[in-house]
Structure 1
């Protein structure tokens, strides 16, 4: 029969620590930034369980495990016990109880607002303190404060992206409010970038919103996009989308594409500099003739659909900044809201693509007729 795992009160654990027991904080790195039980060593539960001998070379040593509230340390103690460690204990109530008992703690290495605001990020092994600081240092250019840009901007700001350059020349119309959730009824008639700034700063005052009330053009596209880690395409016309693509190819910046119409949406990452990646012109070499492009005012869209696609775009941007997971580079993800289905299509780089093809010289940017951009 497997022996029970003993739980110790913080005071008992402290006395054992003073008498030579090893205290191990198994929280994630980001959580430990708020301070640790003094004298403890920090190693996340997953790392400790993966490479136990490197951290705990003596199975006969007295080991005390502590986490946030006691659950993870108790589970980890069970794993170590199964590996042959003979004297493993869990601190009941974790670091919270340790602090409540007035026992010594190390100083916090980050400010309280940061630690509380991003606490759920800091608990993720893939994110942690270093990942959150990467987000804080990142620069994202978001083109369009409309249906796609609204949810993307809200979640990027909430996630703690350091600087968001918001590019849009339009004003808020009452018909926008059904899907452009960054704006309010009181904002009707106001420039979209100003309305969005107010909402985003109210959500997260620590994020810098660089509002650019202008339309992207051949004359300004490279200047506006240079120096950013990711570009998000929330545009609604082909002229802007092709300019974005061409500038991102030249700058080597990933472009997170999204499009919606009716009940259908799609999203991808166009990044030919990435292995297996392609650009928007590999899929659509040239824009359609104006007569085949629907009028922006006539092309209806389910109000919640841009929310789905915009959030997928924000997710891709965060993953690209952190360098985690598998991006949609080289893949077109299609969403059917009526059937609630996702389909994935593999995209191949076109060797004769007019923009990123082999041996193609970078051409000058060109302003195209501003026809509506339905996918």
Structure 2
């Protein structure tokens, strides 16, 4: 470790030499190298985090560059995770960076979460957040999760010794169908949210009190206001529908695809029902109640809506799957 690189932050009483050693020995797992990832990763690298894992299966596109400044024009078409780690190594060779070019699924994140001190959810989609929250809750690892859309965004710290993401958001919100590519986003909002996520992570690694676990910050750029919410007393839901990976399907599972018939990828499964969501309420009644129903759509949003409907009809054994990036 280069002694003078961190001398300014070590002047802070909360850091000092011992705090810098904590950072150097820490492992952080970041899921998502898009807008939020680009905003937070340089701060973590600059602070001297010992080992940072970056997981993302996406490639760099021209439309990303206005809010993802880690990437350049010559990077178009290349892996976000790989290029992000390349840039971060140039920023701070003291740190170790490992890229994982794959989608975050239940079976791809467990091992990394178990050896991480903090997990950061920068994927900005609900299915991934639930997958990470469920896995972090099982091993009591803190999850810092952020989201940004339009002129707003939020950051929260979940799990560990606090409530999970499901305690605050038991179900996928009804209005969550749109993403940045559909609803729009401005770069500075992403930068603010990503920076707060990085600070949450550093505060956790340095044991700064009060802890951000059980706290949420919401930023509204239109009025330049940051609001604070505490959810330390939020209760865990008594029941929820887990997200599964394709590899976790059992032989007796019944897969219910609620996407439109022409959507890709095509699912190949013996026990498969295709029931597009627009007609679901009229076509559900031949689904068996004595098998686990695994309801699929691209992102999990439509599957969650179908699950809510089935639960109201007495179905109890339900799981969800987001198939957009599944290795089928």
1:188-227 counterparts in 2 under 5 A?
188-227=76-115
Give how far 1:293 is off: 1.2
Structure 2 residue matching 1:114: 3-state secondary structure: coil
Structure 2 residue matching 1:298: 3-state secondary structure: helix
Give how far 1:370 is off: 4.2
Instruction: List structure 1 segments (4+ residues) > 6 angstroms apart after TM superposition.
Output: none
1:84-99 counterparts in 2 under 5 A?
none
The corresponding residue for 1:279 is 164
1:167-316 counterparts in 2 under 5 A?
167-271=55-159, 273-274=160-161, 277-288=162-173, 292-316=176-200
The corresponding residue for 2:224 is 340
TM-score, normalising length from structure 2?
Answer: 0.72
Give how far 1:184 is off: 1.4
Matched, 1:371 2:325: no
Alpha-carbon distance between aligned partners in 1 of 2:132 and 2:43, rounded to the nearest angstrom: 22
The corresponding residue for 1:108 is none
TM-score, normalising length from structure 1?
Answer: 0.63
Structure 1 residue matching 2:2: 3-state secondary structure: helix
Q: Deviations over 1:23-55 (max 9, x none)?
A: xxxxxxxxxxxxxxxxxxxxxxxxxxxxxxxxx
Any conservation in 2 of the 1:296–1:372 contact (CA below 8 Å)? no
Alpha-carbon distance between aligned partners in 2 of 1:184 and 1:369, rounded to the nearest angstrom: 33
Count of residue pairs brought into register by the alignment: 251
Structure number with larger C-alpha Rg: 1
Q: Deviations over 1:316-342 (max 9, x none)?
A: 101101101323222221111111111
Change (3 A) 1:129 1:189: same
Alpha-carbon distance between aligned partners in 1 of 2:4 and 2:300, rounded to the nearest angstrom: 43
Where in structure 2 are there 5+ consecutive unaligned residues? Answer: 246-295, 302-328
Q: Deviations over 1:30-86 (max 9, x none)?
A: xxxxxxxxxxxxxxxxxxxxxxxxxxxxxxxxxxxxxxxxxxxxxxxxxxxxxxxxx
Alpha-carbon distance between aligned partners in 1 of 2:78 and 2:236, rounded to the nearest angstrom: 44
Any conservation in 1 of the 2:124–2:148 contact (CA below 8 Å)? no
Change (3 A) 1:330 1:295: closer
Where in structure 1 are there 5+ consecutive unaligned residues? Answer: 1-112
Change (3 A) 1:347 1:219: same
Change (3 A) 1:370 1:233: farther
Q: Deviations over 1:150-177 (max 9, x none)?
A: 1211110000000000000000001111
Any conservation in 1 of the 2:51–2:96 contact (CA below 8 Å)? yes
Matched, 1:142 2:26: no
Give how far 1:286 is off: 2.0
Alpha-carbon distance between aligned partners in 2 of 1:354 and 1:216, rounded to the nearest angstrom: 25
